[in-house]
Chains A and B, each alone.
Chain A
Amino acid sequence: MRHDAGMNHVRADPPATAAGGVLSRSAFRATFANVRLAIENAMSTLEPLNLPEEEKSSVEIALAEALNNVVEHAYPDGTPGDVKLVLRHGRAGLLIEIRDNGRPMPNGRTPDGNHPTESEPCNDLPEGGFGWFLIRELARDLVYDRENGENFLIFRLAVGRKKTPVRPTPSL
């Protein structure tokens, strides 16, 4: 992973560490309507990064799936609870951290999700379960942990990656 370690890169941008500087921290009541607002806020927080549309859609999809999962599964059937969201941006991309105090993930692990299959008979088409599949397709370094009744999910999206400045060649 850290194949660049030890190389003599010029760091033009001091906060651009691999982990990244905090772009925003927010907390909200776990409802689908609030997830929508949180995504809206997150996307405007990311505006200054000038991400291409393709990367923006990846962020929006992954964020929606991860946050909706908290509302749907950590706090099922409208159980009241809070969700905390932290966005960080660094060399490795965008780091998304989500915490909640709801139910743990089944078997203490993030589910695999439904894997799409080609040409299913119409009436057997799945109507759900693609959330985790989408997160896994879009995200990297997915980590889930639970401590003191708190779920902790963190994943990275390889978007808005700062280009490593190329070292000037000695002849210049």
Chain B
Amino acid sequence: MEMTSSVHNGLTVITVHENRIDAAVAMRFKENMKELTEGVAGRVIVDLSAVIFVDSSGLGAVVGSMKQMGRGRRMDLVGLSPSVEKVFRMTRMDSVFRIFGNLDEATQEPADAS
């Protein structure tokens, strides 16, 4: 499960280089997220542009990744495919995360906005 971390406009962006976050990789996704977000202050943006499918296990891993960052830390999402967006919408997780169309939109947000 390849995921990388980079900095855009001073914000940490985690890019998922995988086209599915499903039950087969959900645990690894959450572990990778833990490694990549540890020690990062402030807002984290997760770029899901490459992801075309998320099942409920994958969704749980995304939610768990935000929870393990701890209170007061924000995790925003970028680049949800229609299928991924559908799973977030049906489970109302689209109201829990801030979701942006692309990285530019997400990084233009003020860093301290909540």
Q: Which residues of A contact B (CB under 8 A)?
A: 32-33, 35-36, 53-54, 56-57, 60-61, 64-65, 68, 71-72, 116-120, 122-123, 125-131, 133-134, 137
Task: Tell me how far the C-beta of A121 lies from the nearest C-beta in chain B, rounded to whole angstroms.
Answer: 10
Q: Give how many B residues have a beta carbon under 8 Å from the other chain's beta carbons.
A: 26
Cβ-defined contact, B92 with A117, below 8 A: yes
A125 touches B63 (CB 8 A): yes
Q: What are 27 residue pairs bridging A and B, where the CB atoms are less than 8 Å apart in the complex?
A: A32-B22, A32-B23, A35-B22, A35-B24, A36-B20, A36-B22, A53-B82, A56-B83, A60-B53, A60-B83, A61-B86, A65-B55, A68-B22, A68-B55, A116-B92, A116-B93, A117-B92, A118-B92, A125-B67, A125-B96, A127-B60, A127-B61, A127-B63, A127-B64, A128-B56, A131-B56, A133-B91
Partner pick for B87 among A36, A127, A134, CB 8 A cutoff: A134
* Alpha-carbon distance between A71 and B55 when the two chains are bound, in angstroms: 14
Tell me if B95 is interfacial: C-beta within 8 Å of chain A.
yes
Specify which of B64, B82, B90 is in contact with A54 (CB 8 Å cutoff).
B82
How far apart are the CA atoms of A122 and B64 in the complex, in Å? 10
Instruction: For the complex, give the distance between the alpha carbons of A60 and B64 in Å.
Output: 23
Interface centre among B24, B53, B56, B91 (most CB of A within 10 A): B56
Tell me whether A130 and B24 are in contact (CB under 8 A). Answer: no
Q: Is the CB of A32 within 8 A of B60?
A: no
Which partner residue on chain B sits nearest A116 by CB separation? B92
Q: A54-B82, A116-B91 are in contact. Are A130 and B59 (CB under 8 A)?
A: yes
Contact A130 B56 (CB under 8 A): yes
